[in-house]
Amino acid sequence: MGTEVVVEGLTKSFGKQNVWQDVSLTLPAGEVSVMLGPSGTGKTVFLKSIIGLLKPERGRVLIDGVDMVNSPERDIYETRKLFGLMFQDGALFGSMSLFDNIAFPLREHTRKKESEIRRIVMERMEMVGLVGAEGKLPGEISGGMRKRAGLARALVLDPQIILCDEPDSGLDPVRTAYLSQLLIDLNAQIDATMLIVTHNLDIAATVPDNMGMLFRRNLVTFGPREVLLTSDEPVVAQFLSGRREGPIGMSEEKDAATLAREQRTPAPYAPRTLAPQLEPSPGLPSRAAVPRRRERVLALLPGLPEPARAAILRSYAPAGPPAGTVGGPVGGPVGGPVNGAVGGAAS
Ligand SMILES: Nc1ncnc2c1ncn2[C@@H]1O[C@H](COP(=O)(O)OP(=O)(O)O)[C@@H](O)[C@H]1O
Ligand SMILES: [Mg+2]
């Protein structure tokens, strides 16, 4: 099972510039979480702080008893081995084949035999749908394939925690949909704790168990996906609906005069209906985090805003027999309707 990540009171500045302050959240073990936020709000800085590559001035990041901010560098180095990282640009070596790129962490950090390395690399390439592309150079394949190669490389050391920095950047909507399914399928197969930084609204709406948002140097909120998805907080609503009207401006934050002008002529926010969370592709195991998450979230219910509470209860209501189904509900899949997810890996 993945490892829980506890972030407490984290504050990070570069010189006089404060990136964010007093960020606290817990990534529940084995669950998938998404961090949203406009460009420049410090999402990448947050990921680097979690793995101890950047040092916040205040706060702690606790993983298995090790504080990635303040523990001795040796302990931080060891704990970093629990992570799989997928960088924004894929970060592949241009002169190496995909096979060698994906094998790189194994050759660098383990003493495994070449035959064992081959077995692991091929298994991971199969997981992300890259079988047959082993010999290709990164420059010879599509952006979507490069993303998946980056993901395969993040998986070779059997990570318990996976951090993905904008895995969708540069992908078209169809490839992004495949990527979303791949992320859920991976979670079902390895039960790792996952944090995905993105501003893609489709990923945000369909992939995570939990969601947070960074804005104006603060964590706006972090919690079950339904809390953010039903929030009427202006910055959240604007972000999730992709509108110009609201506190987020072209240069990230609007000045007070522009905001005041907009507020005199408020544009109606479209009500948002929640898309169902993706399910693993047919044939894969169910996600081990789902029952854990259900128990955890049901215990949180009394403290949640009403719209979030209602959405959670709806999502956990026993699915009635869909109209017109043959055979009835007995013996059907547990946990409600399965999406018509396409298995395999196109693109
Ligand atoms: N190593 C660094 N030194 C100084 N400033 C940095 C460094 N890394 C990031 N920043 C600044 O921190 C802010 C947040 O950056 P970043 O985390 O990359 O934002 P995001 O990933 O949300 O787009 C930016 O203003 C950026 O210029
Ligand atoms: Mg970034």
Is pLDDT of 327 > 60? no
Dist. CA 90–CA 194, nearest whole Å = 17
Taking residue 6's Cβ as centre, other Cβ atoms within 10 Å add up to 14
Ligand nearest to the CA of 88: 2
Query: Which residue from 16, 18, 19 has its CB within 8 A of the most atoms of ligand 1, so it is best to mutate?
Result: 19
Counting atoms of ligand 1 from 1, which one is nearest the CA of 15? 4
What is the second-level CATH architecture of the domain 1-82+159-330? 3-Layer(aba) Sandwich (3.40)
Close Cβ partners of 47 (under 8 Å, ≥ 6 residues apart): 85, 163, 165, 195, 197
Q: Is the CB of 19 under 6 A from ligand 1?
A: yes
Task: Give the pair of three-digit tokens for residue 136.
Answer: 């290709």
If you search the block for the tokens 């984290």, which residue do you land on? Answer: 10
* Residue 312 Cα to ligand 1 middle (Å): 35
Is pLDDT of 157 > 70? yes
Q: Is the CB of 40 under 6 A from ligand 1?
A: yes
Q: Round the average pLDDT of the chain to a whole number and report it.
A: 86
Task: Tell me the domain boundaries of the chain.
Answer: 1-82+159-330
Q: Is the CB of 42 under 6 A from ligand 1?
A: yes
196-254 pLDDT, tens per residue? Answer: 999 888 899 999 999 999 998 999 999 999 999 998 888 888 888 777 777 777 665 55
30-43 pLDDT, tens per residue? Answer: 999 999 998 899 99
Ligand nearest to the CA of 214: 1
Nearest residue by C-alpha to atom 1 in ligand 1: 14
Q: Is the CB of 43 under 6 A from ligand 1?
A: yes
pLDDT score at 269: 46
Name the pTM for this structure.
Answer: 0.84
pLDDT score at 263: 59
Nearest residue by C-alpha to atom 16 in ligand 1: 42
pLDDT score at 207: 97
Per DSSP, the chain holds a count of helices (H) and strands (E) of 12, 12
Nearest residue by C-alpha to atom 26 in ligand 1: 40
More confident residue, 51 or 233: 51
88-134 pLDDT, tens per residue? Answer: 766 789 999 999 999 999 998 889 999 999 999 999 898 888 999 99
Q: Is the CB of 37 under 6 A from ligand 1?
A: yes
- 331 pLDDT band, cuts 50/70/90, is very low
